[in-house]
A and B are shown apart, each in its own frame.
Chain A
Amino acid sequence: QQQVKQSPQSLIVQKGGISIINCAYENTAFDYFPWYQQFPGKGPALLIAIRPDVSEKKEGRFTISFNKSAKQFSLHIMDSQPGDSATYFCAASKASNYQLIWGAGTKLIIKP
């Protein structure tokens, strides 16, 4: 009930394309869904987060789509750039404690 499943494990996208990473959760008590971006040698950095009261949130080229009934959420990166190459983690938690349960990560490579 505590798992967050993330796919794909790795993704290669051409520059200018759309990168899509998917996550599914099990615990219906979760109400906070962040995406983190991690570059080699650095800690995870919050990219964008969503609460279940909205189905979509957009910040610049990054969009989270949220499907509460399916218990799924996804990250879309529009006009992907080589600088977006990183490992992306989805996570979920209760907003009351931010005890994040993490997905396994997706290594994204944007080809010039």
Chain B
Amino acid sequence: EPEVTQTPSHQVTQMGQEVILRCVPISNHLYFYWYRQILGQKVEFLVSFYNNEISEKSEIFDDQFSVERPDGSNFTLKIRSTKLEDSAMYFCASRGQGANVLTFGAGSRLTVL
């Protein structure tokens, strides 16, 4: 069964450092999403991406965040200068054209010290 792959599974970084989380969506999917889940809290929408541009973004997705689809297969989330409160599990998801199912990756756990 096709799956969404995320790397790294866990990253530890110092506050102020840049972090890039990588996702390989399902190959024929066209819509891409990032969500995050702070430990013990709700899953929160960050951003959606379609046709090489951001479709929607939440209040959380400020200027410190950016997304990119650099090579037609990867979908990345960059945090420019990490803060302690960015510590969370980050989930990538993708969806096919006309489909109503978001397929999620296993997540990347980010720990900011």
Residues 38-55 (chain A) with a chain B CB within 8 angstroms: 41-46, 49
B99 to chain A, nearest CB (A): 9
Q: Pick the contact of A104 from B42, B58, B101 — CB < 8 Å?
A: B42
| CB of B15 closer than 8 Å to a CB of A | no
Given contacts A44-B43, A105-B42, are A100 and B102 in contact (CB under 8 A)? yes
Which residues of chain A are within 8 angstroms of B101 by Cβ–Cβ distance? Answer: 46, 49
Which residues of chain B are within 8 angstroms of A103 by Cβ–Cβ distance? Answer: 42
A100 touches B45 (CB 8 A): yes
B44 touches A41 (CB 8 A): no
Which residues of chain A are within 8 angstroms of B25 by Cβ–Cβ distance? Answer: none
Interface range on chain A: under 10, 10 to 19, 20 to 34, or 35 or more?
A: 20 to 34
Which residue of A is nearest B93, CB measured? Answer: A43
| CB of B19 closer than 8 Å to a CB of A | no
Interface range on chain B: under 10, 10 to 19, 20 to 34, or 35 or more?
A: 20 to 34
B100 touches A32 (CB 8 A): yes
Mostly, the A contact residues are: loop
Residues 35-94 (chain B) with a chain A CB within 8 angstroms: 35, 41-45, 48, 55-56, 58, 91, 93
Which residues of chain B are within 8 angstroms of A95 by Cβ–Cβ distance? Answer: 100
Residues 18-52 (chain A) with a chain B CB within 8 angstroms: 32, 36, 41-46, 49
A102 to B104, alpha carbons, bound, how many Å?
14
Contact with A along B97-113 (1 / 0, CB 8 A): 00011111111000000
Which residues of chain A are within 8 angstroms of B91 by Cβ–Cβ distance? Answer: 43-44
Q: A32-B100, A98-B33 are in contact. List 20 more A-B contacts (CB 8 A).
A: A41-B106, A42-B106, A42-B107, A43-B6, A43-B104, A43-B106, A46-B102, A46-B103, A49-B101, A97-B48, A97-B55, A97-B56, A98-B31, A98-B48, A98-B95, A98-B102, A101-B45, A102-B44, A103-B42, A105-B42
